[in-house]
Amino acid sequence: MIGNALLLAVREIRRNAMRSILTILGIVIGVAAVITMVTIGEGATVQVEQQIKNMGSNMLMIMPGKRLGPGLGTSNIQFKEVDAEAIARDIPSVVAVAPVATQSVKAIFGNQNWTTQVTGSDNHYFTVTNRSIKTGRYFTEGELRGGAAVCIAGETVIKKLFSSQNPLGEKIRLQNFSCEVIGQLVAKGQSTMGSDQDDIVVIPLHTVQRRIAGNQDVGMIQLSVRQDASTEKAQKDIMALMRERRHLSPSDDDNFTVMDMKEIANMLTGTTQLLTALLSMVAAVSLLVGGIGIMNIMLVSVTERTREIGTRLAIGALEREVLMQFLVEAVVLSSLGGLLGILLAIGASLGIATVLKVPFIFNTGIIIIAFLFSAVVGILFGYFPARKAARLNPIDALRYE
Amino acid sequence: MNQSDLDTSPVRSGYSLIELAKVDKVYGTGQAAMHALRGVDLRIDAGEFVAAMGPSGSGKSTCMNILGCLDTPTAGDYHFQGVHVGKLTRDQQARLRRHYLGFIFQGFNLLNRTSALENVELPLVYRGLPAARRHARARKALEAVGLKGWEHHSPGELSGGQQQRVAIARAIVTDPIILLADEPTGNLDSATSREVMNLLTEFNRQQSITIVMVTHEPEMASYANRIIHFRDGQIFTDKKNGEERQ
């Protein structure tokens, strides 16, 4: 009986090819949206994890202030260079400590200008952030101590300011002073947050403090822990040290935050996964709307084909055969929509993954789920019109104008 | 007679093919009630070619629908080969139609955008015949109505007469024992009407298919060997048509 119903349903769909295509469009788009969202979301999650692995999981960041809850936080007492020195001196498991002060500054060379992040730090910065120099050299001790006007620039800045010219030895203007380019960083690409890690100019910490910020503050301390040492232990030691240096009594909250890359990783993958889930839910709603579209067309089709149903009943179709025919028709339509949606989703995901530079991860699970879901949508939304058709009284159906 | 009998049993002997006893059909209730049939008694035997005539509203079509198990009487009994149709379920009635009855409608009622062959095959699909046997029988039926070579044309590509012949092929493809034709020539010109009537006569004589036909054209009725006149929901006259009745 299913075989017969399938035959009749396929004939019916073929008979109304155009309408069938329009009917399933909603399902096609719904299925495609769900699969694309999940695929891209997973790709993004994997990418975040990958990037964090690249950054090194043994990195800690210390930032002033601490969030105590939504909209609540402690005062942001800034660090000084001596805090970084104290950590380097007192915490044995630390390999390198880099005090970092960052400012957004417009860099000018000739008639080109580009607003970039100027990072004031020392040579430890390159060790901690796992970066190295492509051409040129690092800072000298003298330059660091004296706050010399020298800089090491990232690839993006170099490209924006010097089209093809060799930047080494040239002077770029940062806010109110000229600064000699002494090196170029190896390109690193996009960060986990989506920012361009090569849009950066590194200059000595003292230079930022004196010439740009006008204070002695250090916005953040980045450090790396020895590979064989525990980051948890280091984190605890640093917290104790900082509390002591800041004269916090045991009842006081920390007024600084020590972040482990692992935490950041968890936070970021958590955010990505949440976003994926939300977007997929929105996409799932469109799948539901697609199902309603099928029901709508099937109901119209039942009305339009009332005489035909009458004829079928007259020549001996059973109630359940008519029911089955319309139900199978709805399921075949929605499954067809599901299949087309899967193809569309694979194409769209490949395209979007390429554009967003996110790995394309083929997830068989979600494809099977989406397909089954589209079939279930067909059964769910096809049942009501099908029952309506099957319950028609033969003579009323035949007389229907 | 149970369901499996309906599926398999051939013509049952010892019973009249059709027997209506005091059949009433009332549409609506109370003041608005409309009596379409009032106490109709009718017996039709196998092999007859009956024409039902009468003005519109006389009850001829209602009677036909009851004979075709498409409608149920308000009162009275309908026995088909001794089976009390009123006691059959909806599905059993459908099986009865499937195995014993063939329908021809005034409006042809073919599936549009569907080839003649597929239209004729349809009742066989419901009988669950395999594709090859289905095709073969449908082709044979189309050949019998003179439409060999037109198998793959859809109704839209056929003339009215051809469409009605496709409909006749669809009605006879199941080898029914009775054909019910509701104004089969109502939408056709007189030349094609005669062709259709000749076909019906042929099936009646050569394959002894019982035919009950509703018409209001005396010329078409003259092909039948028994003519029943309906008036006001009752049988007014019931006569044999000349010497043709054997």
Per-residue pLDDT reduced to its tens digit, A224-235:
888 888 888 888
CA–CA separation, B126 vs B94, rounded Å? Answer: 11
Q: What confidence tens digit (pLDDT) does each residue in A134-159 have? A: 999 999 999 999 989 999 999 999 99
Residue B99: closest CA among chain A residues belongs to which residue?
A316
CA–CA separation, B109 vs B113, rounded Å? Answer: 12
Distance from CA of B69 to the nearest CA of A (A): 8
What's the rounded mean pLDDT across residues A275-288?
Answer: 85
- Residue A12, pLDDT score: 82
What is the CB neighbour count within 10 angstroms for residue A72?
8
Q: For the ranges A41-50, A390-399, B111-120, which has the lowest average pLDDT?
A: A41-50
Of residues A232, A103, A241, A242, the one with CA closest to residue A177 = A103
> Binning pLDDT at 50, 70 and 90, where does residue A205 land?
very high
Give the number of beta-carbon pairs within 8 Å between A and B.
Answer: 71
- Residue A56, pLDDT score: 60
Overall fold of domain B3-240: Rossmann fold (3.40.50)
Q: For the ranges A44-58, A124-138, B124-138, which has the lowest average pLDDT?
A: A44-58
Domain layout of chain B by residue ranges: 3-240
Residue A338 at interface with chain B, using a CB cutoff of 8 Å: no
- Residue A192, pLDDT score: 62
Which of A7, A8, A316 shows the shortest C-beta gap to B94? A316
What is the pairing mode between strands A112-121 and A94-109? Answer: antiparallel
CA–CA separation, A295 vs A380, rounded Å? Answer: 9
Which of B99, B112, B125 shows the shortest C-beta gap to A4? B125
3-state secondary structure B190-212: HHHHHHHHHHHHHHHHHCCCEEE
- Give the SS3 label for residue B166: helix
State ipTM: 0.89
Q: Are B147 and B116 in contact (CB under 8 A)?
A: yes
- Between A264 and B76, the more confident residue is B76
- Residue B225, pLDDT score: 92
Contact A316 B170 (CB under 8 A): no
Share of chain A above pLDDT 90, in %: 25
To test the contact with chain A by mutation, choose from B37, B109, B180, B214 the residue with the greatest count of A C-beta atoms within 10 A, namely B109
**Token pair recorded at residue A9:** 């349903």
Residue A398: closest CA among chain B residues belongs to which residue?
B109
Q: Which of A127-131, A295-299, A396-400, B37-41 has the highest mean pLDDT?
A: B37-41
- Residue A272, pLDDT score: 84
- Residue A341, pLDDT score: 93
Which of A11, A315, A319 shows the shortest C-beta gap to B97? A315
pLDDT in tens, chain B (246 residues): 444 455 445 556 677 899 999 999 999 888 888 899 999 999 999 999 999 999 988 999 899 999 999 999 999 999 999 899 989 999 999 999 999 999 999 989 998 888 999 999 999 988 888 999 999 999 999 999 999 999 999 999 999 999 999 999 999 999 999 999 999 998 899 999 999 999 999 999 999 999 999 998 999 999 999 999 999 999 999 998 864 433
What is the CB neighbour count within 10 angstroms for residue A339?
16
Tell me the pLDDT of chain A averaged across its residues.
87
CA–CA separation, A385 vs B94, rounded Å? Answer: 21
- Residue A1, pLDDT score: 64
Q: Which stretches does DSSP call E strand in A29-83?
A: 59-64, 67-69, 72-73
Which of B109, B113, B126 shows the shortest C-beta gap to A316? B126
What's the rounded mean pLDDT across residues A356-372?
Answer: 87
CA distances from A256 to A70, A98, B64 (A): 16, 16, 94
> Binning pLDDT at 50, 70 and 90, where does residue A193 land?
low
Asked if pLDDT for residue A120 goes beyond 80, the answer is yes
Encode burial over A207-232: b for 16+ CB neighbours within 10 A, e otherwise: bbbbbbbeeebbbbbbbbbeeebebe
- Residue B11, pLDDT score: 58
CA distances from B110 to B55, B58, B154, B165 (A): 27, 27, 9, 11
CA distances from A52 to A4, A130, A205, A263 (A): 57, 12, 26, 10
- Residue A254, pLDDT score: 83
What's the rounded mean pLDDT across residues A126-135?
Answer: 88
Kindly list the residues from chain B whose CB atom is less than 8 angstroms away from the CB atom of residue A4: 125-126, 128
Kindly list the residues from chain B whose CB atom is less than 8 angstroms away from the CB atom of residue A306: none
Kindly list the residues from chain A whose CB atom is less than 8 angstroms away from the CB atom of residue B125: 4, 7-8
Q: First and final CA of chain B: distance in angstroms?
A: 31
- Residue B1, pLDDT score: 45
Q: Are B185 and B220 in contact (CB under 8 A)?
A: yes
